[in-house]
Structure 1
Amino acid sequence: MTAADEKRLTCVNRSAALSRAFEFLGRRWNGAVLGKLRDGPLGFREISREIDGISDSVLSNRLSSLVTAGLIVRVVDAGPPVSVSYSLTDSGRALMPALDEIAVWADQHLTP
């Protein structure tokens, strides 16, 4: 394989990875949920109160998809009373610097 072929393959792989990332992160509310969990665990109601405009059914769906993706973890405390909290995994925490950079770029380059 030539250097040009390797470079083309690297670009294709990077493009595919970015497509996967933005397809997932571009789903409405995923980034907001992750951002709210950056400072520590929160329960469902706390997250719901923190994100204006998200319905309970959509929040439930987003939390499930983020758990499935391995970005957050759902922890059940047997209580009493029983409580459920959500927090970032190592993978979710590793995403925070990239989300911070995207936010900075948006502030600088996208009109509100």
Structure 2
Amino acid sequence: AIPGISERMLSDRLTELAGAGLVLREVNEGPPLRVTYRLTDAGAALDPALQELAAWAKVHLPRSWPCAGAGRE
């Protein structure tokens, strides 16, 4: 849910997260070839910290900031 992100940038970030052990990259040969990602236990363990950051952002970031409203419910 990141407005304006290119496929290349998304792919690069997911590759970095996989390298850090936060996501697993799985290639399904297909056809068609499909790549999926899922959180590792370490990645899932970040959820409480990310929820706290989201709560902080709702209070402290102006809505006009890029991505400030991303993921808001």
Normalising by structure 2, what TM-score? 0.74
Q: Distance in 1 between matches of 2:56 and 2:37?
A: 28
RMSD: 1.4
What residue in structure 1 maps to residue 40 of structure 2? Answer: 89
Larger RCO (alpha carbons 8 Å, 6+ apart): 2
What residue in structure 2 maps to residue 21 of structure 1? Answer: none
What residue in structure 2 maps to residue 79 of structure 1? Answer: 30
Structure label with greater radius of gyration:
1
Normalising by structure 1, what TM-score? 0.51
4+ long deviations beyond 3 Å: none
Q: Which runs of 5+ in 2 are unaligned?
A: 64-73
Q: How many residues align?
A: 63
CA shift digits 1:65-93 (9 cap, x unpaired) = 01101111100112233211011111110
Helix, strand or coil for the counterpart of 1:91?
helix
Q: Distance in 1 between matches of 2:59 and 2:5?
A: 26
Structure (1/2) with the larger helix percentage: 1
Q: Which runs of 5+ in 1 are unaligned?
A: 1-49
Helix, strand or coil for the counterpart of 1:86?
strand
* Identical pairs, percent: 54
